[in-house]
Structure 1
């Protein structure tokens, strides 16, 4: 089984190893963690302090110090929030750069990446959001959708299962046997679109800004709605 790798998210290889050891062995002192990880004590303590500083572990106020890992779900949420904030800063910085835009097509590789794209695009919407998504995606998109709804952006929301949002209606559409999974399609301001399908825990599709791609996504949503 491959080792846990947190390095893409700002952690060192040693911190990744120590976090994995904490998850497997539970809370422990620096000495115990160093032995379990087969590390020099100095390296283990340095990694533990790094994990605490980055929100992946906590240390109890006792002697000797005992370190405990944050639950994986908590760590993932923290990383998502940090990356979301970083993306917003990047977007704001890039908006000041004036250069000719060109059509883009990007492959979607994970559920998390498509939710991040949707949250970002919905948050920037100025006139209209059209979205067909699985019912369990809506709770994760509620903050972005709620902010957008208060900005007088027109929301057209659909799902193949019942969804109850307090601030906007969600149309229930029939499942399409010709679609390879649960449909995940969006159009934001005629500026960007997603055409994808979710199968179990995987998502396959693309995000793009080509006018032809965006028009295709709009037609797909219309077809889903007309099938009611």
Structure 2
């Protein structure tokens, strides 16, 4: 009995409503006075519940010398509750969605640890819907499943690397500065942009620390970097004599410089 009362209360019945309804189901047609006597509650509280149950379509009222009440069948009541609940859910979904802030707040997160960064990269790739830009010397096999699944969803995947990488799917658009296969590991650079909405940057060094963000400026800058590497590569392949260098520390000493010494010696 207690459990039935609790279940009915889950669907909007008050405790007294539930007791009145169950009493009518068990004992059949009855007056408010008799119901109050059966469940040992005041007549005022019972009549208040009778009004609620009648208004909500849970009981019938039979006119006569003394008003009597009869419970509607549980199947009918529960069907009414189910229909009303579904209707309310649809209304809430629609109205609450209108109120929700659709624009995601901008964030910039630092993430440490190679495995954590790799897991985040896989997660971001799994959300891709339109385009993926990737600038890396990491072996693409570490993201093989995510890249293939993205392509099968119709996502365009563009990859840039200085040396040639093995691609896990023929639809990957791969640009490389050199035709020599990448052999330098642990890898130095990983830049990822997904749908021009989210970006990641990290390397695989002694202290692995990376950045994950949806900040519009950072996403645009990283996207431009990847595109510029592709443009520069294709331009210098077609016009090698017009190669431009400006003699900066970045060119001469940085481990992540665009051109390593070996490549320069082979080309000059």
Between structure 1 and structure 2, the one with the greater Rg is 2
Q: Which protein, 1 or 2, shows the higher relative CO under an 8 Å CA cutoff with sep ≥ 6?
A: 1
Structure holding more strand per residue? 1
